Chain A
Amino acid sequence: MNQQLIRKYYYGDIPEDKTGGNIVSKETKTDWPLWEVFIRSKQGLDHKHAGSLHAADAQMAIENARDVYTRRMEGVSIWVVESKYITASNPEEAGELYEPAVDKIYRHPTFYQLPDEVNHM
């Protein structure tokens, strides 16, 4: 029994037919979904994507994120979202999506003379 429980899979590497550490029956077998983790490193800053992990539910995802991504004081707030809810742009469409901006340097506000008194621009 123990041998089954201590079987180890690395994250992102779980074969589909072997999820749940082989301990659940075929009928109820479900893969733990993947979650994306966003960490706010300190108050006032944005949440930044930190990585992803597996968890059975949102609560477990928060706790896993706390243990995996904030154990060295990296964060004060955690967001998690199931990866399947993230819609990503298609790399094959990069040409039409991003390249038209390349030759429009006038969109950068670099053509203004700023007074010396204005800091942090």
Chain B
Amino acid sequence: MSALIDYTLHLADNTLILGQRNAEWCGHGPVLEQDIAITNISLDLIGQARSFYQYAAELKADGSTEDSLAYLRTERDFKNCLLVEQPNGDWAQTMLRQFLFSCYQFFLYQQLQHHTDTRVAAIAEKSLKEVRYHLRWSSEWVIRLGDGTEESHNRMLKAIDELWRYTGELFIPVAYETETGIKFTSLKEAGLNNIRIVFNEATLPVPENVYMQTGGKTGVHTEHLGFILTELQYVQRAYPGSEW
């Protein structure tokens, strides 16, 4: 049971933190249409986070709520992967982060929709349509920028250099993932294969032999998460129990 709670929180934290990161673009997107697109994705992800937090709160049955799980836990309790907490950087870095995560999420949810826990399976199945669009949208941006101008190509190269080191962790199961039934080998294979296809079209190299950072899934984060939570949790910390 404890493993299922931790895993559900991991899924929730992934989507909450990436949703929060994408939301930072709200009002700052390069053009209005893309501003709306990235914040739509942000809302999709936060919606997924709510479903998972609600379920985790039910499983915990200790008075936790979706709000207390999102707003009142500290860095070490958060189980999101390192990739999603990385800074937005420029538009290229945000697009690459979204692409890498959506790609992972797409193949993960395909497996999760057949999960033995019917609630997790239902959330995954419902979310899969959203994720499919996120993947399509972010793939096109990776291709557009990678195969665009010299400037945009170089920015994508820089983004790959920045983010690739956080992709290894996604495919290395931690303790609470070992009983999930997820086939990590085929997950990695499918994910990498899709990345290769898109990078190839984008004229971008797939890095080899990069040292991979790990730790996010067990609560050991990069320095960025603390800042994200400070902003995300500010109102609940300053005015406990406040409501809209």
Taking beta carbons and an 8 Å cutoff, which residues of A are in contact with B? Answer: 1-2, 5-11, 14, 21, 23-25, 28, 32, 53-56, 59-60, 63-64, 67-68, 71
Contacts and interface: CB of A to CB of B under 8 A. Distances in A.
Contacts of A55: 33
Contacts of A1: 90
Interface of B: 25, 27-37, 40, 89-91, 137, 140, 144, 149, 151-152
A56 B145 CA distance: 12
Given A5-B30, A24-B149, A63 B137 contact: yes
Contact of A68 (B28, B33, B91, B151): B33
Nearest to A55: B33
A63 B139 CA distance: 13
Given A63-B37, A67-B40, A10 B151 contact: no
A64 B33 contact: yes
Main secondary structure of the interface of A (DSSP, over half): loop
Contact of B28 (A6, A53, A60, A71): A6
B31 A11 contact: yes
B151 A23 contact: yes
A63 B30 CA distance: 16
A2 B32 contact: no
Contacts of B37: 63-64, 67
A42 B25 CA distance: 32
Contacts of A6: 25, 28-30
Nearest to A12: B32
Contacts of B33: 11, 53-55, 64, 67-68
B31 A54 contact: yes
Nearest to A2: B90
Nearest to B92: A5
B149 A25 contact: yes
Given A25-B149, A60-B140, A67 B28 contact: no
A64 B34 CA distance: 7
A28 B30 CA distance: 17
The 8 closest A-B pairs by CB, nearest first: A64-B33, A6-B28, A11-B32, A67-B37, A21-B30, A5-B90, A67-B36, A67-B40
A57 to B, nearest CB: 8
A2 B149 CA distance: 18
Contacts of A9: 31-32
Contacts of A14: 31
A70 to B, nearest CB: 10
Contacts of A23: 30, 151
A119 to B, nearest CB: 39
Given A8-B30, A9-B32, 19 more contacts: A2-B89, A5-B91, A6-B28, A8-B27, A8-B28, A10-B32, A11-B32, A11-B33, A21-B31, A53-B32, A54-B31, A54-B33, A63-B37, A63-B140, A64-B34, A64-B37, A67-B40, A68-B36, A71-B36
